[in-house]
Structure 1
Amino acid sequence: MISADDLSYFLAVARHGRLVRAAEELKVDHTTVGRRLTTLERALGQRLFDRKPGGWVLTEPGQLLVEPAERVAAAVLSAHELLGGRGSRLRGNVRLLVPDGFGAFLLAPALSRLRSLHPDLTVEIVTATVHLAQSVRTFDLAVTLEEPTSHRVKRRFLTAYKLGLYATEAYLASHEPITSIDDLARHTLIWYVDQLLDVAPLRRIHDVLPGPAPIQSTNLIAHWQAAATGVGVAPLPKFIANGDPRLVRVLDQVEFEGGYWLVLPKEHMRLARVNALIEMIDWMIADRRLDLLG
């Protein structure tokens, strides 16, 4: 007989790939995790993980079990929040996967509002500027730069935002004038790493820029700091650059548009703690509308 409790152990190991880290999440000894997995595998008559030097890797039967296990775990959490938690304050963890600029400049400053409403809620912010993985077990809520294609998530367009070209006055004064986009070929451009740029909206901006950028980073914060300290010219979201007095616009007529999508696993739609984060994000987007659009 399979129990929801056994499935929670299975999901923790699937998420972390190691017994010790799964045990830390579940607040039990790692031998307990191993024992529960053995019980589950015997009940199913299937090996769910291959034990390899790099960690515990899902077998094909294990991969098939992930989605139903996630639905069971979400149903248990939803029942607790709707019934067992009624009348009490929200507790637990919510993990958000967001682009670094969104997390640092939009989400983080808005968290004081969430803390005042739900002081017992723990928010885990994981930043990444990549395609959303097909497996959604690693996050409760995500913000992405492009619309996801996974059938297992609920998504809606969150907001557009504007980007411009920025540099310092000192940099512009000490280098050749910039009167057109083609002039940027003779300047130090700051942008994402070419070989790792697989997000379509960012690739479109890359294709407009003349030639490869001499300074490349996967981190938007690095772009901002490099431009703000006079290294070169960077395309930056206006909600970042317009708040920094060290930066000035380059080629006012050149403007790009990006967008953010709000994404969550379908089984998390009823979770009160997730909806509390969604309400806070919607409030923050409305409050920062002018910053986002420049």
Structure 2
Amino acid sequence: MSRFDWNDLQSFLAMARTGRLTVAARRMGVDHSTLSRRISALEDAMQVKLFERRSVGFVLTPEGEALLGDAEEIESLTVRMGVRLHAETSHLTGNVRIGTPEGFGTYFLAPQLALLGQKHPDLNIELVANPRSFSLSKREADIAVSMARPSQGRVYARPLVDFGLGIYASQSYLDAHPPITKKSDLLTHSWIGYVEDLMWTPELDYLPMVDRNIQPRLHISNVISQLTAIVGSAGLGVLPHFMARNHPALTRVLPDEVYLTRSYWLITHPDTHDLARVRACSNFLTEQVLSLGADFWKG
């Protein structure tokens, strides 16, 4: 096998993870023709075809699949080398991507970013607040916040905070509909729930815990849009207290009868866990969560 460039292997990983030439090129910071040449150079060096082009994008061949694990091990090794060389530094620089659920990222973390920027002005922080899970092994994030402990993969995971949820409705909705004085009254009202096949974690399946007979009339894929619909008087829904308290139009329904609890977990990858910039951001998250106290999170 002829020699190949590490940049070619990085290009291979970017293509394998995105499946799109233009997206992979953007991630690598090169134009698509440069990335295409790097993939071709790697294929020539390996003397195998690594990708097949299909309607859905570029798909790994069996040879490409075989290379993927080795390429990720090499990538992990280079990261660990960087950790050892630069682990301790008083002046933090570089990028840290934090992947979170949309509610946590929007209502808690985004307002804290100014303070994080003041503490570490030369860090470039990327907040990805989406209703999805993040793969740390694929470098989709350096730090992930999840609603469940990962059941597989090499990660560090620790509890971050427990948070409470309850039933909410707008006061205008409650004024226009029959009163709710007991749990059985809930079945006569309109409900907002998740799109079932787009529920990114089973932890979002709240409604059966309220009453298994509830059938939502409106299904929305993310909690921020659900909250907006509830504020707009579309019906009842389950919301985290730390989000609902920001909207004075909302009223909590049956607070003594219905109280749900979920947890957020803080997750990092072993290869980057000890990077000074990742550790600083993880510590910052933990400190800010604790500083707000139980009333903020549990309602």
2:144 matched to which residue of 1? 142
Report if the CA contact (8 A) 2:86-2:275 is conserved.
no
Q: How does 1:84-99 map to 2 (within 5 A)?
A: 87=89, 89-99=91-101
Structure 1 residue 283, shift from structure 2 partner: 1.5
Q: How many residues align?
A: 294
Residue equivalent to 2:226 = 223
Deviations 1:145-201 (A, max 9, x none): 112112222212211100011112222122111122221111121221133336222
Correspondence for 1:276? 280
Q: Distance in 1 between matches of 2:175 and 2:277?
A: 51
Partner of 2:202: 200
Change beyond 3 A, Cα 1:53–1:12: same
Pairwise CA RMSD: 2.5
Map of 2:127 onto structure 1? 125
- Which amino acid in the other structure matches residue 234 of structure 1? G
Q: How far apart are residue 61 of structure 1 and its match? A: 3.2
Deviation by residue 1:42-63 (Cα, 9 ceiling, x = unmatched) = 3333322212233212223323
Q: Does 1:293 align with 2:298?
A: yes
For the residues of structure 1 that align with 2:150 and 2:29, how far apart are their CA atoms?
A: 33
CA distance, structure 2, for counterparts of residue 233 and residue 206 of structure 1: 14
What percentage of residue pairs aligned between the two structures are identical? 36
Deviation of the 1:87 alpha carbon:
5.0
Deviates more, 1:99-108 or 1:14-23: 14-23
Change (3 A) 1:257 1:87: closer
The 1-side partners of 2:110 and 2:6 are apart by: 34
Q: Distance in 1 between matches of 2:187 and 2:202?
A: 22
CA, structure 1 residues 120+75, in 2 after alignment: closer, same or farther (shift >3 Å)? farther
Once the two structures are TM-superposed, the CA of residue 204 in structure 1 deviates from its matched residue by 4.7
Q: Contact conserved, 2:137 with 2:269, CA < 8 A, in 1? A: no
Give how far 1:134 is off: 9.0
Q: Which runs of 5+ in 2 are unaligned?
A: none
Q: Distance in 2 between matches of 1:87 and 1:97?
A: 24
TM-score normalised to the size of structure 2?
0.87
Query: What are the residue-to-residue correspondences of 1:238-253 with 2, within 5 Å?
Result: 238-253=241-256
- Residue ranges of structure 1 left out of the alignment (5+ in a row): none
Question: CA 1:115 to 1:75, structure 2 compared with 1: closer, same or farther past 3 Å?
Answer: farther
Deviating more after overlay: 98-107 vs 45-54: 45-54
Match of 2:261 in 1: 257
Residues 3 and 154 (structure 1), Cα distance of their counterparts in 2 relative to 1, 3 Å cut: farther
Q: What displacement does 1:66 show?
A: 3.1
How much does 1:102 deviate?
A: 0.7
Provide the C-alpha distance between the structure 1 equivalents of 2:88 and 2:260, rounded to a whole number of angstroms: 46
Q: Which residue of 1 aligns with 2:174?
A: 172
CA distance in 2, matches of 1:9, 1:275: 27
Q: 1:110 aligns with which of 95, 112, 118?
A: 112
Which deviates further from its counterpart, 90-99 or 245-254?
Answer: 90-99
Q: Deviations over 1:105-125 (max 9, x none)?
A: 111111112211222322222
Structure 2 partner of 1:235: 238
Matched, 1:30 2:62: no
Q: Does the CA contact (< 8 Å) of 1:4 and 1:73 recur in 2?
A: no
Query: Residue 21 and residue 194 in structure 1: after superposition, are their counterparts in 2 closer, same or farther (change >3 A)?
Result: closer
Q: Does 1:186 align with 2:191?
A: no
Distance 1:128 1:82 in 2: 32
Which residue does the alignment assign to 1:10? Answer: 12
Q: TM-score, normalised by structure 1?
A: 0.89
Name the SS of the counterpart of 2:259 in structure 1. strand
Name the SS of the counterpart of 1:8 in structure 2: helix
